[in-house]
Amino acid sequence: MEVPNLTDVVQALDLAVFRRESVGVLRLLGNPPAWLEEVWPSVARSGLMDSVIEVSPYLDNFLIDADAHWKSGKSHRARSGPWVETAADGREYNLEASAMNVGGVSTLLVEDLGASFEQRRAMLQTARENMLAYEKLNAEVQRKEVLLHCVVHDMCSPLQNMMMALSMLDSEILAPEVRGMVQLGLQAGRRQESMIDNVLHMYAAEMRAHYGRDNGEWPGMDLRSATQRTIELNRPLFAQQNVTLAWDAESAGSGRRRLPGDEEHYERVLGNLLGNALRHSPTGSTVGIRFEEDAEWITIQVEDEGGGVPPHLQAQLFQKFQQGAIGRGKVGLGLFFCRIIIAKWGGEIGFSPRSGNGSCFWFKLPKLPTLPETKKPGPTVSKS
């Protein structure tokens, strides 16, 4: 059986094979492949690469990893990843190096990736172009949605004024035909309110909590389990960034509390504040949730150990489109959303700097008066 000459094999593969002589010195084994004469003519000529940093800074950097690999004696290939070298005539070559231990010899292979590289690049290119198109579309959709919210929001306030004026008129003594007209106006107003409600519901369910009407009968909230759920939801994100999430479950009280609001939105508000805190938290720091309670209020605090909020930005934090100090927000609607929810519940949301460093974002909810024991069990609250 005929056995191919290994040198021929290497040459057929277009590989340049080097042996490590000493730190930063490589000797070419066998004949130089054609590309080597284009890319590194002096190396091809002398068969020696002794100041690698001059020849190729990239290869020089890889030799640090290669040296570690050769020392380890491991048998697999350690690859450099592809890089580009430009020949004297301006042509670019995509190369990749690998370090190997072959029969006790510290060996470095350098190959011209040629066409296979082009394929890989084309694939990545398509993937990225698709990402760009997708991002663009998303941004457009988001822009439209925000615009819609603002438009609808702006439409809401004059309507509310009109409704108030009409209601006041309606409570006066009026000639019957005038009352008829006033009620027609009220009816149309209510229809418009519900249309606005529908639009908002369709585009972003969360905004409805602000604009939608409620009958004032809150189901009450189990703060401890709602908080627990939010924490569980966020824990993987925190773990990923190595930020500790700490809270004292006891301080949340237990069971269903008589509070305005509903757990679904409570969880979204808390989730927003946690996400915000995480974005501003350095690795290894802690974000804490604390509850405080007095006769009238329950206050929920989210404290981080990040850089804090610069004074000039504090006043605008809860406005539309604000992004905090170093601007790590997504779209700046998160805190605005929290504010409108909490305001709707008759609560308050705010920010206080912490002594030392970090921020404390808090919101407080008014405790509702306890119902007489005789009432049927279950959380119904009359509007006060």
Q: Which residues bind other proteins (CB under 8 A)?
A: 56-58, 61, 64-65, 81-84, 86, 92, 94, 96, 117, 120-121, 124-125, 127-129, 131-132, 135, 139, 282-283, 307, 310, 313, 323-328
Which residue lies nearer to other proteins by CB, 82 or 271? 82
Q: How far is the CB of 85 from other proteins (least distance, A)?
A: 8
User: Residue 72 CB, nearest distance to other proteins (Å)?
Assistant: 16
CB 128 → other proteins: shortest distance, Å?
5
Q: Which two tokens stand for residue 261?
A: 């609001």
Which of 191, 328 has the CB closer to other proteins? 328
Nearer to other proteins, 46 or 86 (CB): 86
Nearer to other proteins, 47 or 282 (CB): 282
Supply the minimum distance, in Å, between the C-beta of residue 286 and other proteins: 17
Q: How far is the CB of 93 from other proteins (least distance, A)?
A: 11
- Between residues 110 and 196, which has the closer beta carbon with respect to other proteins? 110
Give min distance, CB of 299 to other proteins, in A. Answer: 29
- Least distance from C-beta 80 to other proteins, angstroms? 9
Nearer Cβ to other proteins, position 160 or 241?
241
Nearer to other proteins, 208 or 280 (CB): 280
Buried b vs exposed e over 314-336: b needs ≥16 C-beta within 10 Å?
Answer: beebbebebbbbeeebeebbbbb
